Chain A
Amino acid sequence: MFDPELMDYANRDPRLPEPVDQGNADLGIDLEQRLDLYERQQVLRQFEKRAYDMFLQNLVKGTSHLSLGMEAVSAGFGAAMRQDDYTFATYRGHAHTLSRGVPLGPVMAELLGRENGLLKGKGGSMHLTSVEHGMMGSYAIIGAHLTMANGAAWSSQIRGTDQVTVCFFGDGTTNIGAFHEALNFAVIWDLPVVFVCENNLYMEYTPIDLITAVPNPAADRASAYGLPRIIVDGNDADAVYMTALDVIAKARSGRGPSLVEAVTYREQGHSRADPGKYRPKDEVAAWKARDPIPMYHQRLLKLGASEGDLASIQQDVARRVDEATEFAKAGRHPGEEHLMSDVWADGGSAWRN
């Protein structure tokens, strides 16, 4: 039955983050690895902030979906993956692309629609792809890419490599049919694939718990496919990294697929058009207090890193983001020669003689 109070999202009960142990000193992750995780999160944070600034300056056109607040997930998985592994992502894919080592400049230039963009300006923010980095695409109609991830994993089996495929998607994707087809398929074919649900609590504008039969949209479905229920704190890069190492090792050793639900929070709206006003204020505040990056910063200080070490990482990343911005702004707008190219393998677009 329709309940108008339920539809008043901003005044509903907020979904607050679970309290977590802030220590994490005994996970067996050394300081060097943790500094790498910190740097990865800095790259994603500073890049996304710059992308947002460039949007406000009307340099980024179209739409863009940022991962601000969700950086720990892609940083943790990116650090755990091998160079020849495969990534599949959604339209919220800037972070997953950068996490594979794709250079910042071409990614920024793609957002600006420039010829020096990663896709020559032909894909845009929602389709970031770099085959040479194993980033096999960002897909803007949710669901299909889970089935493609199965295919990449199948291909690794056929070719006799031990590559692993990691496929990221949001909580909203768990309610589309392809999610369920893909999971069943991955299990029956025993595929080396890891499905990672970034549960940021909102399907675009609608709270995920109001439209899903179970409280945890991915993890609570795992048992239907004979998979263990895995939930990880998606704001804790260490926790994500340890989980990622575990499920990737499982896949690499031929023990089949995994489904991971990383609970996190989108600090902004769904896309650039959305101020996110449907979210209770105290919910936003509580999650901002659990922002993955300041939290990780504090942890590193406790573990012996110095403010100076961390400041130098931040500054180095800031310089890289500045360089990427200049690279992108200096790119020319794609010329007519790109309009009709690359429909077919012969480089052209002819459909008749």
Chain B
Amino acid sequence: MAELSYRDAVAHGIAQEMRRDPQLVMLGEDIAGAGGVFKTTVGLLDQFGPDRVRDTPISEQAILGAAMGAAMTGVPVIAEIMFSDFLAVCFDIVANEMAKSRYMTGGQMSVPVVVRTANGGGSRFGAQHSQSVENWCMMIPGLKVVAPSTPSDVVGLLAASIRDPDPVVFFEHKSLMASKGEVPDGEVIDELGKAKIVREGSDATIVALAYMVPRALEAADRLAEDGIDAEVIDLRTLVPLDTNAILTSVTKTSRAFTVEENPRLCGWGAEIASIVAHEAFWDLDGPVVRITTPHIPLPAAEALEDMAIPSVDRIVTTVKENLD
């Protein structure tokens, strides 16, 4: 076991896979010489050389197109899009090309690409560098969507994403970069589509993702002081979605809450609320409640951004109000 930061875990996970597969390459803006603007790729250029770790111009379409073209001809690729907001610049390739190519070619084409991107708020960067856009990708048939919350999940889920023959969008959270955690020694490989119960409880199920996981855990500790025993589920991947874990938990607790950083309309929790309402309706003691960022562009000012993104206080208050 070694303690790693979330940002170091990214480079650690990539290195593990680049050692395993000598053909695996990566490309992106400022990832080689500079080690990434979030320092998530530090040391990879020295370890694997300029042919495998390549800097690109500011050309997001060229980056993802090159990744896709290489992948479909037998070379697996990790592509970095610096901020997840920039996915909109190259969304044609994400949503129309890599997601659809296997289906529309009758199963002929395989596109083993991992698109890594820094997601989410908390950095006071304003509306174009802070959004939580995992729901953009969740709604596209043909994309897998991953968003880890801990360093060991970063390593294990990166390995699973890289080894997956389908395109994966891998969201790294900006506000988790400095957080630390234990990562097992040796090769770490996890599984896509498996949620984790990160706190067991019997009174309410709180489903969270990425940066909202530590907040949900802190909220659960505070709720416990008031005698409410909350179970917290870290979804980890949105596609495939581990509905069994959610339904099993809700059957036990009879109440379901989602904590989502994405703006409210069509956020990932809406699908979960729909599934729970449909498939666990008779186990519920009350409505499914979504705790989300409001349906607004994210503001820059510290005071406003903190009001927008679900806080520990808001989670505690909302759960308490609804259980009363």
Q: Among residues 41 to 85 in chain A, which have CB atoms less than 8 Å away from a CB atom of chain B?
A: none
A349–B143 Cα distance when bound, in Å, is: 11
> Using an 8 Å CB-CB cutoff, how does the interface string of A117-131 with B read, 1 for contact, 0 for none?
111111100010111
Q: Which residues of B have CB within 8 Å of A155? A: 69-70, 73-75
Smallest Cβ-Cβ distance to B60: which chain A residue = A181
* Whole-angstrom CA separation of A47 from B146 in the bound complex: 45
In the bound complex, what is the Cα–Cα distance between A150 and B75 (angstroms)?
13
Question: Would you call A136 an interface residue if the criterion is a C-beta within 8 Å of the partner chain's C-beta atoms?
Answer: yes
Which parts of A141-193 form the interface with B (CB within 8 Å)? 141, 143-156, 158-159, 165, 177-178, 181-182, 184-185, 188-189
**Complex contact A156–B73 (CB within 8 A):** yes
Partner of A86, one of B61, B64, B73: B73
Bound CA–CA A120/B108 (angstroms) = 10
**Interface presence of B72 (CB below 8 A):** yes
Whether B66 lies near A159 (C-beta < 8 A) is no
Which of these, B92, B93, B142, B244, contacts A343 with CB under 8 Å?
B142
Let me know if B241 and A178 touch, CB within 8 A: no
* B104 and A150 contact, CB distance less than 8 A: no
Of B72, B96, B104, most buried by chain A (CB within 10 Å of CB) is: B104
Chain B residues with CB below 8 A from A113, complex form: none
Nearest-neighbour CB distance to chain B for A170, whole angstroms, equals: 17
Q: Is B23 an interface residue (CB 8 A)?
A: yes
Q: Is B110 an interface residue (CB 8 A)?
A: yes
Query: Given A147-B61, A154-B70, A344-B102, do A131 and B92 touch, yes or no (CB 8 Å)?
Result: no
CA distance A344 to B244 in the complex (A): 20
Would you give the 0/1 interface string for B217-241, flagging 1 where the beta carbon is closer than 8 Å to chain A? 0000000000000000000000111
In whole angstroms, how far apart are the Cα atoms of A136 and B72 in the complex? 8
- The verdict on A147 contacting B108 (CB below 8 Å), with A154-B70, A184-B57, A185-B62 known, is no
Cβ 8 A contact of B69, one of A118, A147, A159: A147
| Contact assessment for B75 and A159 in the assembled complex, using a CB-CB cutoff below 8 Å | yes
A351 interfacial contact with B, CB 8 Å:
yes
Residue of B nearest to A157 (CB): B51
B286 within 8 A of A: no
Task: Give chain A nearest CB distance to B167 CB in angstroms.
Answer: 10
Residue among B57, B72, B108 making CB contact with A152, cutoff 8 Å: B72
Set B25, B59, B275: member contacting A181, Cβ < 8 A: B59
Which of A131, A136, A165, A181 is close to B62, meaning CB atoms less than 8 Å apart? A181
B68: which A residues are within 8 A, CB to CB?
147-148, 151
**Is there contact, CB below 8 Å, between B65 and A178?**
yes
Q: At the interface, yes or no: A139 with Cβ under 8 Å from chain B?
A: yes
* Cα A119 to Cα B243 with chains together (Å): 32
Q: Which of A145, A159, A178, A342 contacts B106 (CB 8 A)?
A: A342
Indicate whether B175 reaches chain A with its CB closer than 8 angstroms. Answer: no
**How many Å lie between the Cα of A184 and that of B108 in the bound state?**
30
Looking at the assembled complex, report how far the CB atom of B234 sits from the nearest CB atom of chain A, in whole angstroms: 16
Q: Among the interface residues B75, B142, B165, which one has the most CB atoms of the partner chain A within 10 A?
A: B75
* Residue interface mask B77-105, A partner, CB < 8 A = 1: 10000000000000011001100011111
Partner among A88, A123, A130, A151 whose Cβ is within 8 Å of the Cβ of B104: A123
* B240/A353 in contact, CB under 8 A: yes
Please give, as numbers and ranges, the residues of chain A lying within 8 Å of B126 by CB-CB distance.
none
Please measure, in the bound complex, the distance between the C-alpha atom of A163 and the C-alpha atom of B243, giving whole angstroms.
Answer: 45
Min Cβ gap A179→B in Å is: 10
B62 touches A147 (CB 8 A): yes
Query: Which one of A130, A131, A184, A352 has the highest number of Cβ atoms from chain B below 10 Å of its Cβ?
Result: A352
Picked from A136, A147, A153, A156, the residue with its CB within 8 Å of the CB of B93 is: A147
- Residue B186 is within 8 A (CB to CB) of chain A in the complex: no
B287 CB within 8 Å of chain A = no
**Are B106 and A148 touching (Cβ within 8 A)?**
no
A335: CB under 8 A from chain B? Answer: no
Question: Contact: B97 with A144, CB < 8 Å?
Answer: yes
Check B104–A122 contact: CB distance below 8 A.
yes
Which of B106, B239, B241 sits near A118, CB closer than 8 Å? B106
Are the C-beta atoms of B70 and A131 separated by less than 8 Å?
no
Contacts of A177 in B (CB 8 A): 61
Q: Is the CB of B93 within 8 A of A144?
A: yes
CB distance from A222 to the nearest CB of B (A): 17
- Please measure, in the bound complex, the distance between the C-alpha atom of A309 and the C-alpha atom of B234, giving whole angstroms: 72
User: Quick one: given A139-B97, A151-B66, are A345 and B23 in contact (CB under 8 Å)?
Assistant: no
Contact between B66 and A154, CB atoms less than 8 A apart: yes
**Min CB–CB distance B206 → chain A (angstroms):** 20
Contact assessment for B56 and A185 in the assembled complex, using a CB-CB cutoff below 8 Å: yes
Q: Which residue of A lies closest to B243 (CB)?
A: A352
Chain A residues whose CB sits within 8 angstroms of the CB of B70 once the complex forms: 151-152, 154-155, 158
Contact B107 A146 (CB under 8 A): no
Would you call A178 and B62 a contact (CB within 8 A)? yes
Measured CB to CB, the residues of B under 8 A from A are 23, 25, 51, 54, 56-57, 59, 61-62, 64-75, 77, 92-93, 96-97, 101-110, 141-142, 164-166, 193, 239-244, 275
- Counting from the closest, the 3 A-B pairs by CB-CB distance are A151-B69, A147-B65, A342-B107
- Sample of 4 more A-B contacts, CB < 8 Å, known A88-B69, A130-B108, A151-B68: A131-B108, A151-B77, A343-B102, A351-B141
A sample of 25 cross-chain residue pairs with beta-carbon separation below 8 angstroms, ordered by A number, consists of A86-B73, A119-B108, A127-B104, A131-B109, A132-B108, A137-B101, A147-B93, A148-B93, A149-B65, A150-B62, A150-B69, A152-B69, A152-B70, A152-B72, A154-B66, A155-B74, A156-B73, A158-B25, A178-B62, A182-B65, A184-B57, A185-B66, A341-B107, A345-B164, A350-B240
Residues of A within 8 A of B (CB): 86, 88, 117-123, 127, 129-132, 136-137, 139, 141, 143-156, 158-159, 165, 177-178, 181-182, 184-185, 188-189, 341-345, 347, 349-353
